[in-house]
Amino acid sequence: MNAMWATLRRDLLVVMRRKSEVLTALFFFVIVCSLFPLGIGPEPGLLRKIAPGVLWVCALLATMLGLQRMFAADHADGTLEQMAISPTALVWLVVGKIGAHWLVSGLPLVLMAPVLGLQFDLDAEALGVLMLALLLGTPVLSLIGAIGAALTLGVRGGGVLLSLLVLPLYIPVLIFGAGAVESHIAGLGAGGHLSLLAALLVLAVFFAPWAATAALRIALE
Amino acid sequence: MLSAHGLSCVRGERRLFAQLDLAVSAGQWLHVRGENGAGKTSLLRLLAGLAQPAEGEVHWCGQPIGQAESGYRNQLLYFGHHGALKEDLSALENLSFAAAMDGATLSETQALTSLHRMGLRGREDLPIRVLSAGQKRRVMLARMATRNAKLWILDEPFTALDVKAVDLLSKLVSDHLVNGGMAVLTSHQAMPIAGGLVVQL
Amino acid sequence: MTKQQKKWFKFASPQAFYPLAGKLIPIFWVLTAMFGAVGLWLSFFVAPTDATQGEGYRIIFVHVPTSWMSMFIYLVMAGWAAVGLSFNARLSSMMAQSLAPTGALMAFLSLWTGAFWGKPMWGTWWVWDARLTSELILFFLYLGFMSLQASIDDPRRADKAGAILALVGVVNVPIIYFSVTWWNTLHQGASVSLTKSPSMAMTMLWGMLLMAMCLWMYSIAVGLTRVRAIILEREAHTEWVKQLQEVKA
């Protein structure tokens, strides 16, 4: 368990020394989200309607930008091999890495979303639902993304292939995440969608690390 | 204590080696020799447990290395071609994290002593990427000294080392063997360490 | 292991399976033709005109069987992939690899015929309800499986990585199947069940079952043909392949 926290701290430390990588994904999120009101026009009613979907799709794309580097750097400099033969089970170290990835890629999205939601004229309660949905959904994106990143480690055409593999598995998260905000706006309450998101999170927490670890061992052979 | 029976390795369509037996006990070391592409690195990775052999088994103290009870990973130190160092972290940080992931405790004084012994005084806090290739290798030597592993599996450890560092490494390995450790090494060069068993691929 | 069991296990080697598959393929093509002939005859000439939909509903005899097959093939493919992963069996992974394109075809046909049916029925080619969306996801999973295997050069690594992907995606199949009960969807509910008697005319049911059998036999025939090609490709360096008639020619 100590090793898991050590892995998480190490990844965060490495990121702090190379802040540009992280900020790029965040800026991408902000810019792409802002493109929609610019392209579609400022009519508030329309913007409010498309806001949940647009914000979620942008969050998905921004997360995918950072997925490749989850394991690639460690694979290139040999630290992944060391993790694979460490006395601590690899699955715990992978959980640490996924945690670091979420803290760096997912949590900033959750925190930025209200600011961007204002561009779409969402009210405060809707923004709250959006943040909660993102809080539940972005870890799922990191967890499932880890499986894709591990499967495509060192494979040519990795980035695009990773997107092809991971996006179909992201679709349920997108549907429930955007659906939560939409049904709140429609007055139906977000409870159902949020519960399903929470269920997805629980499932992902239990199964994704194992799948990602198995895929990593295959990539290391 | 490390033994392998009937090992064979297949890479793509080529069979690199077949029915290989070897054994290393306390105080012994194995020199794996062969041309480029003969399978030296593959053999070392099989012994380290990173890859599964097509046939055969690797045993540590009589138990297959894949089983947790064998305690193999606690006793193993493996270095492949890469330095296993994070370029953006300092030498000191690399050592501390490596120890933490091994589940071992390493105090800062212990780490610093080891780094100084390897000739890195004054460079402990610089990010690895500003060190020269030889200095990066010396950080690895420091890791070898601080991790109490019985078995060292090293792939081309003498690469990029200057004369003084070659002496350092040879002394490290000799001391390790004298203290009851074991080692498996590959190298293109003649090894300046006495008394090794040879495995020719 | 008894002698009987050992006899079957010898077919786990590509070398032994290759000729066996060759002998079986014509049988399955014949079965495909037979089931297809009877199934199509039932579908077009015997099954009664539907009260509300007229003749257009007959596309159900292609739509439902292809949907069933797309899910079934995925489960079989994932099963073989899992066997290949756990027992390190090359032939099982080759079987998974050979089934994927057929499964993708079935998923595509399911979506396409569904669209052709949906236009007159619902007034729209597509709707984003749970069943259609999850079938679309299934199609993408097939494509992802095939792309992943195509991108990895080392065949054994490709087999194992594909197996992991296939197993992760298996959770989608029950979602497709149960989506019509779990959600209020536009897609009609299940009329055919393993436990209850069906809520449709018997001739319609028989038509669908026979077409499903036809597609099943087709999938096996095509799967066996493709796996023979994969065996030739991956075992090209072995002596027994070099000695084959078709390779020497």
Sheet holding B182-186, edge to edge: B76-79, B151-155, B182-186, B29-33, B197-200
Closest partner CB to B84 (pick from A7, A18, A82)? A82
Report the C-alpha gap between B44 and B20 in whole angstroms: 13
Q: Which residue has the higher pLDDT, A68 or A135?
A: A135
**What are C141-184's pLDDT values in tens digits?**
999 999 999 999 889 999 999 999 999 999 888 877 777 777 66
Mutate: best of A94, A165, A173, A175, partner C, most C CBs <10 A: A165
Sheet holding B55-60, edge to edge: B14-24, B2-11, B55-60, B63-64
Q: Which amino acid is at C75?
A: L
Which residues of B are less than 8 Å from A14 in CB distance?
86, 88-89
Q: What angle do CA C222, C224, C225 make, to 5 degrees?
A: 65
Q: Which residue has the higher pLDDT, C141 or B54?
A: C141
**What are A12-50's pLDDT values in tens digits?**
999 998 888 778 888 888 999 888 888 888 888 888 888
DSSP structure string for A151-211: HTTT-TTHHHHHHHHHHHHHHHHHHHHHHHHHHHHTTS-SHHHHHHHHHHHHHHHHHHHHH
Q: Which subunits count as partners of chain A given 3+ CB pairs below 8 Å?
A: B, C
- Write down the pLDDT at residue B101: 87
Q: Look at residue B180 and tell me whether its pLDDT is greater than 80.
A: yes
Closest partner CB to A171 (pick from C133, C143, C160)? C133
Which residues of A are less than 8 Å from B127 in CB distance?
17
Q: Indicate the pLDDT class of residue C189, thresholds 50, 70 and 90.
A: low
- Write down the pLDDT at residue B133: 85
Mutate: best of C152, C156, C232, partner B, most B CBs <10 A: C156
Q: Which two tokens stand for residue B50?
A: 């990173």
Smallest Cα–Cα separation from B47: which of B26, B27, B75?
A: B75
Q: Indicate the pLDDT class of residue B159, thresholds 50, 70 and 90.
A: confident
Report the C-alpha gap between C247 and C34 in whole angstroms: 32
Q: How far is B137 from chain A (nearest CA, A)?
A: 13
Q: Which amino acid is at C240?
A: W
Q: Look at residue A147 and tell me whether its pLDDT is greater than 70.
A: yes
Inspect the interface and report whether the beta carbons of A169 and C168 lie closer than 8 Å: yes
Q: How far is A60 from chain C (nearest CA, A)?
A: 16
Map out the domains of chain C as residue ranges.
Answer: 26-48+57-184+201-248
**A35 φ/ψ sector (left φ>0, alpha ψ -120 to 50, else beta):** alpha
Q: Is the distance from CB of C20 to CB of C11 less than 8 angstroms?
A: yes
Q: What is the average pLDDT value for chain B, to the nearest integer?
A: 87
**What are C219-243's pLDDT values in tens digits?**
999 999 999 999 999 988 888 888 8
- For B53, nearest residue in chain C (alpha carbons): C88
Inspect the interface and report whether the beta carbons of A152 and C160 lie closer than 8 Å: no
Q: Which residue has the higher pLDDT, A199 or C12?
A: A199
- Which phi and psi (to 5°) does residue B7 adopt? -70, 135
- Write down the pLDDT at residue B39: 86
Q: Is the distance from CB of A62 to CB of A28 less than 8 angstroms?
A: yes
Decide if C144 touches A, using CB distance below 8 A.
yes
Q: What one-character DSSP code corresponds to residue C76?
A: H
Inspect the interface and report whether the beta carbons of A155 and C160 lie closer than 8 Å: no
Inspect the interface and report whether the beta carbons of C154 and B13 lie closer than 8 Å: no
Number of B–C residue contacts, CB under 8 Å: 4
Closest partner CB to A77 (pick from B78, B83, B100)? B83
Q: What is the average pLDDT value for chain C, to the nearest integer?
A: 86
Q: Is the distance from CB of B75 to CB of B151 less than 8 angstroms?
A: yes
**What are B120-158's pLDDT values in tens digits?**
888 888 999 899 888 888 999 999 998 888 999 999 888
Decide if A160 touches C, using CB distance below 8 A.
no
Q: Please state the rounded mean pLDDT for residues A138-143.
A: 96
- Write down the pLDDT at residue C200: 67
**What are A69-115's pLDDT values in tens digits?**
899 999 999 999 999 999 888 999 999 999 999 999 899 999 999 98
DSSP structure string for B27-93: T-EEEEE--TTSSHHHHHHHHHTSS--SEEEEEETTEETTSGGG-HHHHEEEE-SS----TTSBHHH
Decide if B23 touches A, using CB distance below 8 A.
no
Decide if C154 touches B, using CB distance below 8 A.
yes
Cα separation values, C44 from A14, C204, C217, Å: 67, 10, 21
Q: What one-character DSSP code corresponds to residue A103?
A: I
Q: Which two tokens stand for residue B67?
A: 């089983």
Maximum separation of any 2 CA atoms in chain C, in Å: 63
3-class DSSP state of B188: coil
Inspect the interface and report whether the beta carbons of B50 and A81 lie closer than 8 Å: yes
**What are C27-47's pLDDT values in tens digits?**
999 999 999 999 888 888 877
Domains of chain B in sequence order:
2-200 (3.40.50.300)
Percentage of residues in chain A having pLDDT higher than 70: 100
Q: Look at residue B62 and tell me whether its pLDDT is greater than 90.
A: no
Q: Which amino acid is at C194?
A: L
With residues binned 3-state (H G I as helix, E B as strand, rest as coil), the percentages for chain B, rounded to 5, are 35, 25, 40
Decide if A167 touches C, using CB distance below 8 A.
yes
3-class DSSP state of A49: helix
Q: Look at residue C132 and tell me whether its pLDDT is greater than 90.
A: no
Closest partner CB to A87 (pick from B74, B79, B84)? B74
Q: Is the distance from CB of C82 to CB of C121 less than 8 angstroms?
A: no
Count of alpha carbons within 13 angstroms of residue B101, beta-carbon side: 29
